[in-house]
Amino acid sequence: MPKSFRVDPDNPSAEVMNLAAKVLLDGGIVVFPTETVYGIGALADSRFGAHEIFEVKGRPTNLPIPLLVETKDALGTWGADVKEYAHRLAQEFWPGAVTLVVTASERVPKDFRAPNGTIGLRSPDHEVVRSLLQATGSPIFATSANTHKQPAPGSFEEIEARIITAADVVIDGGKSEHGTASTVVLCTGDEPVVLREGAVSAEAIAEAAAASVG
């Protein structure tokens, strides 16, 4: 069976999406496009797949993998004591290229919480990811599909051969819209803190946060 499939990113093949969803449900790992960069992911409740991602990437286990979710309602499920401004940021930027780091709820496996008890959550604005989330009915632990500290791939052609070999299924959706990673915002204090500026500017985050208390 082939492991790499080309799809229309705006209207992906239901057959390919169902195949990839089955692989995820069976505990496998899938490489897929998002609007930021290509990601490598496994289901949140997978016993093996999500842990395998650390090995595939060479990623230190103390750097938790973000969780891709379908809607902003997931903040209350996978996050605990979520700040009001975080809900407002989700309202403003989700689905989109912003990862919100919040205190993890008990639903997040301990191995996937940061040492400070947080988890990064993002709702991607990409039809392939939405299709996978809907077909599996589960959030997906996912990070950029590259070796740790190497450039994140913004297109299928930029994905390292070793990453493709390690994945169970690879979805080729062409070039990503942004070609750069999401903006990561820490949302545990009194004000949001941009940990990594990516596709959404720190200025836009600050403006949205200010509006949330205005």
Instruction: Report pLDDT for 50.
Output: 87
Instruction: Report pLDDT for 210.
Output: 82
Residue 78 tokens read as 């996978």
What proportion of the chain, given as a percentage, has pLDDT over 70?
Answer: 98
Instruction: Report pLDDT for 120.
Output: 98
Residue 183 tokens read as 């903006």
Calpha distance 76→119 (Å, rounded): 12
Three-state DSSP at 143 gives strand
Long-range contact set of residues 55-64: C-beta below 8 Å, sequence gap at least 24: 56/29, 56/163, 56/166, 56/167, 57/143, 57/146, 57/147, 57/148, 57/163, 58/147, 58/148, 59/143, 59/148, 60/148, 61/111, 62/114, 62/115, 63/114, 64/112, 64/113, 64/114, 64/118, 64/119, 64/120
Tens digits of residue pLDDT in 112-156: 999 999 999 999 999 999 999 999 999 999 999 999 999 999 999
Residue 161 has pLDDT above 60, yes or no: yes
Residue 51 CB neighbour total at 10 angstroms: 16
Residue 43 has pLDDT above 60, yes or no: yes
Calpha distance 59→66 (Å, rounded): 13
Tens digits of residue pLDDT in 167-194: 999 999 999 999 999 999 999 999 999 9
Place of tokens 């949302």: 187
Calpha distance 111→5 (Å, rounded): 31
Q: Phi, psi at residue 104, to the nearest 5°?
A: -75, 140
pLDDT band at 214 (very low <50, low <70, confident <90, very high): very low
Residue 213 has pLDDT above 60, yes or no: no
Q: Would you list the DSSP string of 148-186?
A: TTSPPPSSGGGS-HHHHHH-SEEEE--S-SS-SPPEEEE
Instruction: Report pLDDT for 16.
Output: 97
Residue type, 117: G
Residue 94 CB neighbour total at 10 angstroms: 21
Residue type, 199: A
- The packing angle between helices 84-93 and 202-212, to 10°, is 120
